[in-house]
Structure 1
Amino acid sequence: MNYTFFKKNISIIKKFIPDTLFLRLQYKYHLGESLNLVNPKTFNEKIQWLKLYDRNEEYINLVDKYSVRKYISKTIGENYLIPLLGIYESVDEINWDDLPNKFVLKCTHGSSSNIICKNKSELNIKESKKLLQNWMKKNWFWYGREWPYKMVKPRIICEKYMVDESKNELKDYKFFCFNGEPKIIQVDYNRYSGHKRNLYDINWSYIDASIGVPSDSNVMIKRPEKLDEMLKLAKILAKNYPHVRVDFYFSNNEIFFGEMTLYHGSGFEIFKPESLGGKMGGWINLNRKKENV
């Protein structure tokens, strides 16, 4: 298989390839290795296995950025939700004049489909509409075969714009949970100006490793004042699932829920060192799930 040809023509051929074959091809392309689904061991291999065989209907609401708000309100409380400014079925429903000077628009049915507005007078609304319209037409299922996204209704939400102590960005605290237990915390920062990710254990000790995006040992991120509360909340939200990543923000000394991610990096990110991917894979217990396959 010519993988360069595969990538260039994926928009045409992706819908005609069975899920298992598609994931094998993508795995080989991104990671340069053959995918072992018979006896998966690494984190990335087990993520592919979960895509194919873990079909919990609850996942559809978890990945929907609007529907998940109801789950958060019920399980940990609506006080952890970022204030919602609007919900739209289409781009045409957005009344841009009514939006505040700062806001965030997000498509509810995918990832990396956000418009962050820090100053509405400088926002190119025409270009923003075009981006949103293109995103609303996409079904993210076809890009990584993350099956819950196939059933998510495309919508747009508008949330309050927030920053952390830097006054310039909002660091993303991502808790990798396994059978309900947080094990590793990934902090994303400088996302739009030299994106980095630092890794920490639950005691906030720096882990000299990276997942997909480089880390920087010279940047020592301060332990969040409410880290223990974040860990407690992550446990509550993750308790029913073999693996999920629970994300939080910390702004004005308050915790806000970000999202729940079932398939980090779609299972195609490079671990450095590789041993970290093996270690994290060992934390995902598929035995109970395999009994139902």
Structure 2
Amino acid sequence: MLKIAKYLYHNTWIGKTVIDSVEQIHHYYRSHYLDDATFLKQNFKKRFGRSLDLNNPKTLNEKINWLKLHDRTALHTTCADKFKVRKYVEEAVGSQYLIPLVFQSYHPKDVIASNFPVYPFIMKANHDSSGGIIVRDKAVVNWKKTQKHFKKLLSKNYYYSGKEWQYKNIKPCVIAEKLLVNDADEIPFDYKIHCFHGKVEVIQVDIDRYTNHKRNLYNTDWKLLPFTWSLWNKGKILWDNGRDLEKPKNLNEMISVAEKLSKPFCYARIDVYDFEDTVYFGEVTFHHGSGLETIHPEKYDLELGNLLDLTKIKTKA
């Protein structure tokens, strides 16, 4: 029966349509009607092949899933909102770390050429992790198509995709920021800085994301760490180590900014850019990879988990 379904899916239009529809209905049921803990346990078991222990979590991935259920504050919602987090950043470290904002609206109909600058920028939704649309020349943009894209995006509540509570109560909007791009038309690396109780422990750098995606992990001394942190497919790692990278000139400042921004949280990933000798803030993420990316060798999942003391969490939903 499974072979027949696979054949119909890959070789017939109606087979693909029917199976996709069934999968969408199944996902909607799970995300909207299952309680959060059951949903997380099912996803964890499917990804890692073992049960999620929410009563006594030990590994980092287990603890990240535990945090989804128990570490819920208004500040989490503010910092997950790519628009409202700007005020938090300004108050915590200063406005000089903010990428210039060139557009913001809660109405997709406002996404028209006249509302955007002539220089390159990136458009994104404030309430999810879908990345963004890079625009180097607004004259070639299909604005009607872009409006439809954001209308659909703003109608979704990202909380239901992974039960990450901080997204649940964000008011969706469209924002655009000036694109950080140099004279060689190169976009800078974003440094994803993992902080435990306000201290940097892992600095993640994704390399060649759109060609040959690799991922390096460093400590604060810029020494390559002895493990990978990646999705896997059919037993093979997707993002292993890439070429060695030079230590950023502003590494100490990047670490300082990340630690100040992460101070109120037991675990947070602070993304920053080091662009033309200036450090810029990117975003805050509270559940890296939704707690579903493999840390290999497995012992490092436990070692990182040991850095996270869940007893220090005072505010719980």
TM-score (norm 2): 0.85
Aligned pairs for 1:143-292 (under 5 A) are: 143-163=161-181, 167-212=185-230, 214-215=238-239, 217-289=241-313
| Displacement of 1:290 | 7.6
Residue 132 (str. 1) matches residue 156 (str. 2): no
**Structure 2 stretches of 5 or more lacking a match?**
1-19, 232-237
Larger CA deviation: 158-167 vs 49-58:
158-167
Aligned pairs for 1:85-164 (under 5 A) are: 85-99=102-116, 100-163=118-181
C-alpha change, 1:165 and 1:284, in structure 2 (3 Å) is farther
C-alpha change, 1:192 and 1:181, in structure 2 (3 Å) is same
Give distance in 2, aligned partners of 1:11 and 1:115: 26
Aligned pairs for 1:37-48 (under 5 A) are: 37-48=54-65
Give distance in 2, aligned partners of 1:86 and 1:269: 33
C-alpha change, 1:89 and 1:284, in structure 2 (3 Å) is same
The answer to whether the Cα contact below 8 Å between 2:195 and 2:262 also exists between their aligned partners in 1 is yes
| Displacement of 1:177 | 0.4
Query: Percent identical across equivalent pairs?
Result: 35
The answer to whether the Cα contact below 8 Å between 1:181 and 1:235 also exists between their aligned partners in 2 is yes
C-alpha change, 1:292 and 1:129, in structure 2 (3 Å) is closer
| Displacement of 1:233 | 1.0
Residue 65 (str. 1) matches residue 89 (str. 2): no
C-alpha change, 1:133 and 1:292, in structure 2 (3 Å) is closer
Give distance in 2, aligned partners of 1:75 and 1:216: 34
Give distance in 2, aligned partners of 1:117 and 1:292: 41
Q: Which amino acid aligns with 2:92?
A: T
TM-score (norm 1): 0.92
Corresponding residue SS for 1:206: coil
Count of residues paired in the alignment: 290
Off by >4 Å, runs of 4+ in structure 1: 4-8, 213-218, 290-293
Larger CA deviation: 5-14 vs 247-256:
5-14
C-alpha change, 1:160 and 1:292, in structure 2 (3 Å) is closer
**Structure 1 stretches of 5 or more lacking a match?**
none
| Displacement of 1:98 | 4.0
Q: Which amino acid aligns with 2:86?
A: R
| Displacement of 1:7 | 7.7
| Displacement of 1:292 | 6.1
C-alpha change, 1:292 and 1:139, in structure 2 (3 Å) is closer
The answer to whether the Cα contact below 8 Å between 1:250 and 1:256 also exists between their aligned partners in 2 is yes
| Displacement of 1:198 | 0.8
C-alpha change, 1:167 and 1:203, in structure 2 (3 Å) is farther
Larger CA deviation: 96-105 vs 264-273:
96-105
Give distance in 2, aligned partners of 1:147 and 1:76: 26
